[in-house]
Every structure is written in C-alpha cells, then in structure tokens.
Amino acid sequence: MNRYGKITQKKQREIVLLKGAPCFWGKCVFCDYIDDNDPDQDACNCLNAQVLSQVTGEFGALEVINSGSVFELPPQTLSMIRDVVRSRRIRQLFFESHWHYRERLHEMEEYFGIPVIFKCGIETFDDNFRNHVLKKGITFESPQEVRRYFQSVCLLVGIEGQTQEMIRRDIDTLLEHFDYGCINIFNENTTPIHRDEKLIRWFYENYRHLEAVPGLDILWENTDFGVGELQ
C-alpha cells in the first residue's frame, strides 16, 4: 500500500493516505475502502507518523485522506499533521468529511490555522440514487446548501443504474456551484456493485475535456493520485 504521493497537475499538492478509526457511517454499498482503518489509535499513530515524515512542503499544499472523515483520525495524528503544517510551511490543506460533520468543519480550520478545502463525497446530486441505491445517508435541499459547507464535492461515475442524463446534471451542477471537484470513475471492487462499461465509454468520449478544467480532478483509476493499492 502506497500512502504518500504527489499530485503534479493543476492544483499541485502532496497527498497522504492515513489510518483512523472506522468510518462512523460505514453503509455506502459501493465502498470497500472502509476496510482501511484500525480502532487501535496507537497503531494508527505509528503508521501515520511514518507517512507524514515523507511530506516535504514543496508545493505548500497537502491533502490528507483516510477511509472515512478527517474527524476520525486520532487526536495525536491531528497534532502531527499540525506540526508538519508548521515545520514544512504548508499554506493550504485538503480534507475529506462526511456531510454528518458539516457543522464542525470550522473546528479544523481553527485548529490548523490555515485555509482548508473540505471535500464531501456527494457521489451524485440525484437524491434517490444517492440515498436509496448508494446508501450515502446524505440529504440536502439544494447544491447551494452543500456549497455553504464544502468547496469541493466528489462525484461517482460509471455504476450500473446511473444514466447519461443523471451524469450530465451532476457535472453541470458541480461546474456551476463549486470551485473544486473530483470525478471518480468506478472501479470494480469487493462489493456487489458493478461498473457500467458502456456508460464509462460514453463519459470518456463526451467529458474527457474536463481534464483541462482548473480545480477539477478525474480519477480514471482509483490510484491515479498515487496512493492506494498500487501494483
């Protein structure tokens, strides 16, 4: 498992994949990333210290991800991240958080004392598909409500049951309301959810140009950021 990488396109930043407590939600039917956790805080802190030691600060920006939300990282790990921010002169952080923690995001901004871009795995703005198919447990009234809390959203593309029209609406909404975004092309994993190869080909043919949009990342493979299970 590679846990340190560099994103050298568009918004350049270092990225670390850390371990924390199990995701509080843990019900997303397409996700087996949830298995990368450990309730043993000491074990998490030991691993996370090794990963964070690789951060150089060369881009002045750092993205921290784990198999849940940043709020599920141990307090000692958060302290280590803050030490790295100060010693490596990091000027901007990227964190992931479930919608559940939206009223607590300010705690992280205050703790680290630098600008934070918060990402949320909305997956789709289609409420029925998001909650009744994907089981995300995220309900909101409008994209504007999401934008009040999160500067970036992650979308999931290429799952059986999605439609071209659903994806068109999702992309249009992302581009209209958010400064940052990440489009994840679904990769087969250990869950019962499957890829729609035809839909992915359609997306590639019609939306590959989005790779040139500043602030927007497209992960054709889930290891494209350089972290995760790399062979």
pLDDT tier at 32 (50, 70, 90 boundaries)? confident
pLDDT tier at 140 (50, 70, 90 boundaries)? very high
Q: Which residues pair with 182 in a beta bridge?
A: 154, 217
Nearest to 127 by CA among 105, 99, 148, 106: 99
| Radius of gyration over every alpha carbon of the chain, rounded to an integer in angstroms | 17
The answer to whether position 16 is within a domain reads: yes
Domains identified in the chain, total number: 1
Q: What share of the chain in percent tops pLDDT 70?
A: 99
Q: What is the mean pLDDT of residues 26-41?
A: 91
Distinct helix (H) and strand (E) counts, the chain = 7, 8
Q: How far apart are the first and last CA of the chain?
A: 9
**Contact call for residues 84 and 52 (beta carbons, < 8 A):** yes
Instruction: Kindly give, in sequence order, each residue whose CB lies less than 8 Å from that of residue 48, ignoring residues fewer than 6 positions away.
Output: 18, 19, 73, 74, 77, 80
Mean of per-residue pLDDT scores for the chain: 96
The answer to whether position 79 is within a domain reads: yes
Q: Encode pLDDT of 91-124 as tens digits.
A: 999 999 999 999 999 999 999 999 999 999 999 9
Q: Encode pLDDT of 142-196 as tens digits.
A: 999 999 999 999 999 999 999 999 999 999 999 999 999 999 999 999 999 999 9
Q: Report in angstroms the alpha-carbon separations of 213 from 7, 23, 134, 218.
A: 15, 31, 27, 10
The answer to whether position 63 is within a domain reads: yes
pLDDT at 231: 45
Q: Which two tokens stand for residue 223?
A: 């290891």
DSSP string, 71-121: GGS-HHHHHHHHHHHHHTT--EEEEE--GGGGGGHHHHHHHH-S-EEEEEE
pLDDT tier at 230 (50, 70, 90 boundaries)? low
Where residue 210 sits, what CATH number does that domain have?
A: 3.20.20.70
Residue-range definition of the domain harbouring residue 51: 4-219
The answer to whether position 176 is within a domain reads: yes
The answer to whether position 227 is within a domain reads: no
**Contact call for residues 50 and 94 (beta carbons, < 8 A):** no
Bigger pLDDT: 56 vs 229:
56
Nearest to 63 by CA among 42, 84, 32, 79: 84
The answer to whether position 231 is within a domain reads: no
pTM greater than the 0.75 cutoff: yes
The answer to whether position 46 is within a domain reads: yes
Q: What is the mean pLDDT of residues 69-84?
A: 98
The answer to whether position 111 is within a domain reads: yes
pLDDT at 33: 84
